[in-house]
Structures are given as C-alpha cells and as structure tokens.
C-alpha cells in the first residue's frame, strides 16, 4: 500500500512528466473505484493545461484552470504515461501532445474525483497538519494528545491529528523516538513529544529521499514505478532481532493494526 513517501515520489515523477501538458480530454472506463467516479469529469476538463501537481496527505491533486483532479492510490493505484492501454486501466487523460496519462488500479481501492475551482474537497476538509509542514509541532501534539488515552501509535494514524502517517511510519517513528507504541498518548512527556515530532518528520523525509532515487526509473518506466521497498527497523519484523540492541522484537495488534516494537529500546 503506498504511504506518504510513495505518493510524494509519484507526485514528483508526474510533475517531471506532465506539468504544463494540456489535457485534451478524459475517458473514464468504468463507473466506480472505491466509490463512484464523477461522471461529469469528462465534460468538466477539456483542453486544460496541468498547472500544478500537489500532494495533501496521501492525495494527489492535478490542478487545471477548470478544476482539480483528486486522486488517492488506495492499495494498488498507479499513474503512468503510456502508449497502449492495459487491463485494469480505469481512466485515461489524453494529452494534446499525443501521450496518454493513465490511471490503473487492479484492486480498485483508489479514488478519482473532481474538485471545482475554489472548492474544498470533503476528503481534505478534516485533515490535520502535514507531518512535514510547519504546523506539525510539539505544541500541536501537546494540544491534541492532552485528552487522548488511546495508544500513541493509534493516535498517530488519526488523520485529524497528523495527516498521511500510515501504519508503517507510525511504528518506525515510535521506535526511533524510543516510545512504546501502546503508551497512552496523554502520558507522553514533553521531551518525548518533541522527539516524536522530530522522528516522524525524519523517517518520512528519509523515505522521500530514498524514493527520489527511483524517480529516474519512474520517468523511464513512464510512471509505473514509484513503489519501493525500504529497510525498516521494526515494521513487519516481529520475532526478529532489534537492529539496535539485538533483542527480540515483539508484535501485537493495536487498534486493529499489527504493530512491532522493541521492549528494550522503547519505553
Ligand atoms: Zn532494541
């Protein structure tokens, strides 16, 4: 499943490929993905230049003067610039230069939607601060965690607290901050909140940098790359040895999601 760093890599790859290109017309090849696609998308965006490619949390936003195409990759969504269409291609943006920008999504958990100029998408309205933005601070965490008794790792997955941090990076950030993922969020000490903000930002920034090295592949592949494997310290490593202390990593389900931590390195 693409997390924020993968989405950012896709954004940068698409920016390099299609920023400034003109969308001649859009063809939708089915009625729905995770939810219905807007049927009027085809008539709303005709002969429009792509003026910006933005990301908010795990949403990609393709701006045109006539409105914005909002895309969420779900579990298996990809964008690519392609000559030929393939199975599971659900939307094709025909570009004026003859290329096609194609959305493919075999499992169809993604979202494709239209946002009118000046409107705020309901998908984005309640999102908390960007983890890499200036609003995600220890003071913000102090305010939002004060009344929360849930496990800190579960709270990090709450998109109103911080947007775009998924199951992988919540675990990695807790490990790097030395905080057990099941600690009640309102019991973190000030120094721990500070450390957690630092590590959430660092782990995402490092993954984006690693993803940046795949952008040349992304361009060569016409956009089908953008999914990459990192070396994680705890994610999916229950029962294996901690890379820091050598002890055995523990695993449990927290708020319905599998979670791994080191009982020695995390307190
Ligand atoms: Zn350890």
Q: pLDDT tens digit string along 91-150? A: 999 999 999 999 999 999 999 999 999 999 999 999 999 999 999 999 999 999 999 999
pLDDT for the residue 20:
98
pLDDT for the residue 226:
55
pLDDT for the residue 183:
98
Q: How far is the CA of 247 from the centre of ligand 1 (A)?
A: 6
Instruction: Indicate the fold that domain 4-125 takes in CATH.
Output: N-terminal domain of MutM-like DNA repair proteins (3.20.190)
C-alpha span between 214 and 237 (Å, rounded): 25
Which residues are 72's β-sheet partners?
Answer: 59, 111
Which parts of the chain have pLDDT scores under 70?
A: 212-229
What residues does CATH 3.20.190.10 cover in the chain? 4-125
Provide the token pair at 52: 């910006």
pLDDT for the residue 105:
93
- The pTM for the full model equals 0.91
Q: How far is the CA of 174 from the centre of ligand 1 (A)?
A: 12
> Which among 11, 12, 55, 58 is annotated as catalytic?
58
Q: How far is the CA of 170 from the centre of ligand 1 (A)?
A: 17
What residues does CATH 1.10.8.50 cover in the chain? 138-225+232-261
**Architecture label for domain 138-225+232-261:** Orthogonal Bundle (1.10)
Residue 3 annotated as catalytic: yes
Q: How far is the CA of 155 from the centre of ligand 1 (A)?
A: 23
Burial 99-121 (b: 16+ CB within 10 A, else e): bbbbbbbeebebbbbbbeeeeeb
Residue 257 annotated as catalytic: yes
pLDDT for the residue 74:
93
Q: How far is the CA of 150 from the centre of ligand 1 (A)?
A: 23
3-state SS, the chain, equals CCCHHHHHHHHHHHHHHHCCCEEEEEEECCCECCCECCCCHHHHCCCEECCEEEEECCEEEEEECCEEEEEECCCCCEEEEECCCCCCEEEEEEECCCCEEEEECCCCCCEEEEECCCCCCHHHHCCCCCCCCCCCCHHHHHHHHCCCCCEHHHHHCCCCCCCCCCHHHHHHHHHHHCCCCCCEHHHCCHHHHHHHHHHHHHHHHHHHHHHHCCHHHHHHCCCCCCCCCCCCCCCCCCCCECCCCCCECEEEEECCEEEEECCCCCC
């Amino acid at each position: 499943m693409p997390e924020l760093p993968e989405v950012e890599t896709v954004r940068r790859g698409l920016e390099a490929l299609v920023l400034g290109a003109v969308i001649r017309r859009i063809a939708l090849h089915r009625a729905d993905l995770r939810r219905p696609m807007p049927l009027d998308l085809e008539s709303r965006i005709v002969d429009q230049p792509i003026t910006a490619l933005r990301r908010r949390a795990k949403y990609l936003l393709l701006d045109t003067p006539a409105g914005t195409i909002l895309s969420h990759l779900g579990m298996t969504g990809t964008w690519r610039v392609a000559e030929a269409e393939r199975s599971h291609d659900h939307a094709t943006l025909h570009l004026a230069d003859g290329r096609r920008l194609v959305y493919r999504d075999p499992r169809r958990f993604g979202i494709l939607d239209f946002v009118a100029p000046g409107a705020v998408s309901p998908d984005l309205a309640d999102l908390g601060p960007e983890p890499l933005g200036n609003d995600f601070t220890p003071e913000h965490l102090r305010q939002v965690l004060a009344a929360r008794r849930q496990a800190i790792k579960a709270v990090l997955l709450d998109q109103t607290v911080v947007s775009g941090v998924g199951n992988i990076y919540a675990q990695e950030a807790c490990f790097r901050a030395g905080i057990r993922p099941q600690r009640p969020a309102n019991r973190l000490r000030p120094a721990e909140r500070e450390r957690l903000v630092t590590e959430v930002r660092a782990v995402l920034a490092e993954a984006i940098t690693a993803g940046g090295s795949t952008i040349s592949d992304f361009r060569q592949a016409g956009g089908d790359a953008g999914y990459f494997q990192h070396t994680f310290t705890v994610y999916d490593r229950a029962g294996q040895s901690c890379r820091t202390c050598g002890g055995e990593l523990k695993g449990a389900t927290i708020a319905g999601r599998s979670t791994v931590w080191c009982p020695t390195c995390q307190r």
